[in-house]
Amino acid sequence: MDKRFLREAIRLSIEEMQAGVGGPFGAVVVRDGRILGTGCNRVTSAHDPTAHAEIVAIRDACARIEQFSLAGCELYASCEPCPMCLAAIYWARLDRLVYAATRADAAAAGFDDARIYDEIPRPPETRSLPTVQALRDEALAAFRAWAAKENRIEY
Amino acid sequence: MDKRFLREAIRLSIEEMQAGVGGPFGAVVVRDGRILGTGCNRVTSAHDPTAHAEIVAIRDACARIEQFSLAGCELYASCEPCPMCLAAIYWARLDRLVYAATRADAAAAGFDDARIYDEIPRPPETRSLPTVQALRDEALAAFRAWAAKENRIEY
User: Which of A63-95 are b and which e, b meaning 16 or more Cβ less than 10 Å from the residue's Cβ?
Assistant: eeeebbbbeebbbbbbbbbbbbbbbbbbbbbbe
* pTM score, whole prediction: 0.97
CB pairs under 8 A between A and B: 287
CA A90/CA A108 separation, integer angstroms: 26
Indicate which residues of A carry an active-site annotation.
54
Is the pLDDT assigned to residue A88 strictly greater than 90?
yes
Phi, then psi, of B132 in degrees rounded to 5: -130, 140
Taking CB atoms and an 8 Å limit, are A48 and B69 in contact across chains? no
The answer on pLDDT for B118 being more than 90 is: yes
Active-site residue set of B: 54
Q: With pLDDT > 70 as the criterion, what percentage of chain A qualifies?
A: 100
pLDDT confidence band for B52 (50 / 70 / 90): very high
Give the pLDDT score at A72.
98
- What torsion do the CA atoms of A59, B132, B140, B91 make, to the nearest 10 degrees? 40
**CA A20, CA B151: separation in Å to the nearest integer?**
8
Q: Which of B58, B109, B139 sits opposite A79 (nearest CB)?
A: B139
Q: Determine the Cα–Cα distance for residues A12 and B80; give it in Å rounded to an integer.
A: 34
Check pLDDT > 90 for residue A13.
yes
Q: How far apart are the C-alpha atoms of B31 and B92, rounded to whole Å?
A: 13
Average pLDDT over residues B59-63: 98
Q: Is B78 within 8 Å of A142 when comparing Cβ atoms? A: yes
The kind and range of the H/E element at A7 are helix A2-18
Q: What pLDDT is stored for residue A96 in this prediction?
A: 98
Instruction: Please answer yes or no on whether A24 and B145 come within 8 Å at the CB atom.
Output: yes
pLDDT of residue A6: 98
What residues of B are in contact with residue A49 (Cβ under 8 Å)?
A: 58, 62, 68-70, 88, 91-93, 155
CA distance B56 to A67: 18
Q: N- to C-terminal Cα distance for chain B?
A: 30
Per-residue model confidence (pLDDT) at position A1: 78
Q: Angle A75-A78-A82 (CA atoms, 0-180°, nearest 5)?
A: 75
Interface touch B25/A82, C-beta < 8 Å: no
DSSP assignment of chain B: -HHHHHHHHHHHHHHHHHTTSSSS-EEEEEETTEEEEEEE--HHHHT-TT--HHHHHHHHHHHHHT-S--TTEEEEEEEPPPHHHHHHHHHTT-SEEEEEE-HHHHHHTT--HHHHHHHTTS-GGGSSS-EEE--HHHHHHHHHHHHH-TT----
Q: What's A126's DSSP letter?
A: G
Q: Is the pLDDT of residue A126 over 90?
A: yes
The CB-based long-range contact list for A117-124 (8 Å cut-off, 24+ gap) reads A117/A82, A117/A83, A117/B120, A117/B121, A119/B86, A119/B90, A120/A83, A120/B83, A120/B86, A120/B87, A120/B117, A120/B120, A120/B121, A121/B117, A121/B120, A121/B121, A124/B80, A124/B97
- Predicted pLDDT of residue A32: 97
Mean pLDDT, rounded, for A75-100: 98
Task: Specify the 3-state DSSP secondary structure of A23.
Answer: coil
**How would residue B137 be classed by pLDDT, with cut points 50, 70 and 90?**
very high
Report pLDDT for A71. Answer: 98
Q: How many CB atoms lie within 10 A of CB B59?
A: 23
**Residue range A66-86: average pLDDT?**
98
The Cα–Cα gap between B81 and B102 comes to 8
pLDDT > 90? residue A53: yes
Radius of gyration of chain B (CA): 18
B36 φ/ψ angles, rounded to the nearest 5 degrees: -100, -30
